[in-house]
């Protein structure tokens, strides 16, 4: 039975990827709330990148995975999570600026900002790893 068969269960990697997408969305919502609380400014290109790559692309990838479009979903998730990871690590941990974890007061909302920045990096790295494995699984399923 092929993994593309709708009656077959999703491959373990696809199910795990969907879980990561949901967790990533929840952490993003919390991080966004902390951003809003502090009024951390974002350039227009950053806002567009966040909406398209960090929020929308993983959700679209999850939809593709649920529709059994494993190869397309895996590639979209891989690109989105890699882009989100590079963006987040740069702005939260490398480049000094208002979005750097060291610039917010670690009390209350600051702690939420810092912990969610770390959790975003973790979920995105995990998403890259799982989606990379899923690309390989989906490629084997199509042979």
Model confidence over 48-62: pLDDT tens digits? Answer: 999 999 999 999 999
Mean pLDDT of the chain: 93
Q: pTM score, two decimals?
A: 0.91
**Dihedral, 79, 82, 83, 84 alpha carbons, nearest 10:** 120
Band (pLDDT 50/70/90 cuts) for residue 139 is confident
Compute the average pLDDT of residues 80-92: 98
Compute the average pLDDT of residues 41-51: 96
CA 112 to chain centre: 18
- In the prediction, which pLDDT does 5 show? 63
- In the prediction, which pLDDT does 142 show? 62
């Amino acid at each position: 039975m092929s993994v593309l068969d709708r009656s077959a269960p999703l491959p373990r990697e696809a199910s795990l990827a969907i879980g990561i997408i949901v967790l990533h969305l929840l952490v993003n919502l919390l991080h966004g709330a902390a951003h809003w609380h502090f009024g951390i400014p974002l350039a227009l290109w950053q806002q567009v990148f966040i909406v398209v790559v960090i929020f929308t692309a993983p959700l679209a990838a999850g939809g593709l995975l649920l529709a059994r479009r494993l190869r397309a979903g895996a590639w979209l998730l891989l690109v989105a999570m890699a882009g989100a990871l590079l963006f987040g690590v740069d702005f939260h941990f490398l480049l000094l600026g208002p979005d750097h974890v060291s610039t917010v007061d670690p009390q209350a909302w600051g702690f939420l900002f810092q912990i969610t920045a770390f959790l975003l990096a973790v979920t995105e790295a995990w998403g890259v790893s799982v989606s990379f494995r899923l690309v390989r699984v989906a490629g084997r399923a199509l042979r």
